Amino acid sequence: MTAPLLEVAGVTRRFGGLAAVSGVTLSVAEGEIVGLIGPNGAGKTTLVNVVTGVHPASAGTIRFRGEDITLLKPWQAARRGIARTFQIVQPFPEMRVLENVAAAAMFAGDTPYGSAAEDFAMEQLRFVGLGELAHRRAASLTLAMRKRLEFAKGLAMRPKLLLLDEVNAGLNAKEVEAALDLIRAIAARGVTILLIEHLMKVVLSLSTRIVVLHHGELIAQGEPQAIVRDPRVIKAYLGRRYAEASGG
């Protein structure tokens, strides 16, 4: 059996007396799109922050491609092939769109400074549909364009695992559909994806498997149709009306 790409074992993250994540164990196989859902405050973003080194785990271990990365810093995680987007999009506003993506490429360490970084950045911008806006200031982009810029920055880090934190928040229906197409195209490149998302339409249409957090604890994981029928998930997150509407 092939070892998982990402293994999270008994991970806890405390802030003072609060356990934002408590004893979470899960794995992500290469090539999966895993949806990570749960109510606000469930610990989803905290878990992503622990995996990417933003916050160190208070307990437990994290392994990536078989290597223990529990104590790595964000730049070290990035250079091993872990990239992420942020729910609140904050590009360098006065820098050009191209410069924002080139900075991400250089941060990940595999792309030399200068023209090589900009050339690679332009490839990612064309892929996400922002090639014509490369020389505009990032501050001039609409929200939907800034979300695409987040995708381009993540891809510029040459990820093996891409963690997407609510990339559809604030988008209209047409923009969400375009983002879905882009996520599928990224997955087709061979990038494994862990997706934090509140829109169940998005989660169900993309995910091969769903993981559910509640009060920092993992309460369920499995195939999408099993998850929407799980009584624990219905009670904690989906609600009875959603379950009945979806046939659960």
Whether the CB-CB separation of 101 and 153 falls below 8 Å is answered with: yes
What are the tens digits of pLDDT across the range 98-150? Answer: 999 999 998 876 666 778 899 999 999 999 999 999 999 999 999 999 999 99
Which residues in the chain belong to E strands, given as ranges? Answer: 6-15, 18-28, 33-37, 59-64, 67-68, 82-84, 161-165, 192-196, 209-214, 217-222
SS3 226: helix
- Which of the four pLDDT bands, split at 50, 70 and 90, describes residue 46? very high
Work out the average pLDDT over 63-80.
Answer: 95
Backbone angles phi, psi at 111, to 5 degrees: -120, 125
Structure tokens at 27: 């794995």
Give the largest Cα separation in the chain, rounded: 56
Q: How far apart are CA 33 and CA 223, in angstroms?
A: 11
What are the tens digits of pLDDT across the range 147-196? Answer: 999 999 999 999 999 999 999 999 999 999 999 999 999 999 999 999 99
Q: How many residues does the chain have?
A: 248
Q: How far apart are CA 218 and CA 216, in angstroms?
A: 7
Q: Which amino acid is at 86?
A: F
Q: Is residue 1 predicted with pLDDT exceeding 70?
A: no
- CB-CB neighbours of 58 under 10 Å: 15
Structure tokens at 85: 């987007």
Q: What is the dihedral of CA 213, 217, 220, 221, to 10 degrees?
A: 70
The structure tokens 């009670």 sit at 235
First to last CA, the chain: 33
Q: Is residue 245 predicted with pLDDT exceeding 70?
A: no
